[in-house]
Amino acid sequence: MKILVAAKRVTDPDMVIKVKPDGSGIELSSMSFKMNPFDEIAIEEALRIKEDKGGEVVVAGIGGDKTPTEIRYGLSMGADRGIHVNTGVDPDSDAVARILAKLLEMETPDLVFLGKQAIDVDDNQVAQLLAEYLGWPQACFASRVDIEGNKARVAREVDGGIEVKEIDLPGIISADLRLNEPRYPALPAIMKAKKKEIKQVTPADLGVDITPKVVIRKMAEPPRRKGGRLVADVAELVKLLREEARVI
């Protein structure tokens, strides 16, 4: 079974995010980066399926010159080879989906694994857009995946409990937080990953226009909340809510 997994480079979620003074974006000069946590979970699940069913895991990274760092991490986890689509800048979700659609035409995998969302833009769109562009079945927010022949049975958490979907392959699955616990690469695996192939392509090679459809005009930190205060009784609370807060 051939599985393609996407890996995105994102800011470290444990660091404090600061907006640039002019509101043009995030201050990145002092930030550290890592693989998107949901993508790491997706790679782990792909590797577990490979270990059970056999086959190949391909990690695709879409982004600037430093994106191979995250691809290489996926290779150290156990993936077989990588593909770097060098876009120069971070493309929007629609461009990512169109690039992946072209990669899938080239690679013809049996299954595609994506993280359910990237923790930087947090928009949760690529898996759904990709399924639409390809006309493939999809199962999003997977918390359990079982492969049976040419079908995938996917359990996903919903408000009322667990919903189980079955899709035909090839298909697209997006990984939720509780799907698995990703492995930590050992030193020998990290050294071997340095010798694994990372193919370099560009959007132009794929015939994809990455002109963004979503443009961020300005960023700003939310206003700080004012501290509360104690009241003597319910009557005073109601009075303050009516006369000061003006919410009733």
DSSP code, position 223:
P
With a cut of 90, say whether residue 225 has pLDDT above it: no
pLDDT in tens, 6-15: 999 998 888 8
Structural contact between residues 142 and 121, judged by C-beta atoms closer than 8 angstroms: no
Q: Which of 152-156, 191-195, 213-217, 237-241 has the lowest mean pLDDT?
A: 213-217
Across the strands, what pairs with 167?
Answer: 152
User: Would you place residue 223 in the very low, low, confident or very high pLDDT band (cuts 50, 70, 90)?
Assistant: confident
Pairing of strands 138-148, 171-175: parallel
pLDDT for 244 equals: 87
In order of start, what are the domains of the chain with their CATH numbers? 2-222 (3.40.50.620)
Least confident of 50-64, 72-86, 102-116, 212-226: 212-226
- Per-residue confidence (pLDDT) for residue 54, from 0 to 100: 93
Q: Say which amino acid occupies 190.
A: I
In this prediction, residues 41-61 reach a mean pLDDT of 96
Residue 227 has pLDDT above 90, yes or no: no
Q: What are the pLDDT digits (tens) for 188-216?
A: 999 999 999 999 999 999 999 999 988 88
Residue 56 has pLDDT above 90, yes or no: yes
Q: Please state, in angstroms and rounded to a whole number, the distance separating the CA atoms of residues 14 and 26.
A: 15
For residue 208, the Cα-to-chain-centroid distance in whole angstroms is 20
pLDDT at residue 26 greater than cutoff 90: no
Per-residue pLDDT band at 79 (split at 50, 70, 90) = very high
57 — phi, psi (to 5°)? -120, 125
Rounded distance between C-alpha atoms, residue 233 and residue 164, angstroms: 50
Mean pLDDT, the chain, as a whole number? 93
**Percent of the chain, pLDDT > 90?**
75
- Band of residue 222 on the pLDDT scale cut at 50, 70, 90: confident
Q: Is the predicted pLDDT of residue 85 greater than 90, yes or no?
A: yes
pLDDT exceeding 70 applies to what percent of the chain? 100
Q: Of all residues in the chain, what percent are helix, strand and coil, respectively (each to 5)? A: 30, 25, 40
* pLDDT number for residue 93: 93
